[in-house]
Amino acid sequence: MRFVDRANTIQVISFIVGFFLQDIKLALFIGLGGTALTFLLIVPPWPFFNRHPVKWLPVGGTETNSQSIVVDGKVYA
């Protein structure tokens, strides 16, 4: 998440460059290039992201001793 926040500073840099050079085309190319670079680095399932996998909670309701929810006197499993 920190990488994405830092990578989005490219958008700020593109705005500043475009503002000072008064060139919106250059600003858009820098911004789109930064977005594409961020997309390529974040979206694919790179192996180094799976070093510490997230341990999800078990699916609720499949256990035999799961608790019920009572709403207005009706019991829901």
- Name the pLDDT band for 62 (thresholds 50, 70, 90): low
Average pLDDT, the chain: 81
Q: Cβ neighbours of residue 67 under 8 Å, at least 6 residues apart?
A: none
Cβ atoms 5, 38 nearer than 8 A: no
Task: Return d(Cα 40, Cα 2) in angstroms, integer.
Answer: 16
Cβ atoms 27, 14 nearer than 8 A: yes
For 3-47, what is each residue's pLDDT tens digit? Answer: 667 777 888 889 999 999 999 999 999 999 988 988 888 888 778
Task: Return d(Cα 4, Cα 35) in angstroms, integer.
Answer: 10
Q: Which pLDDT belongs to residue 28?
A: 94
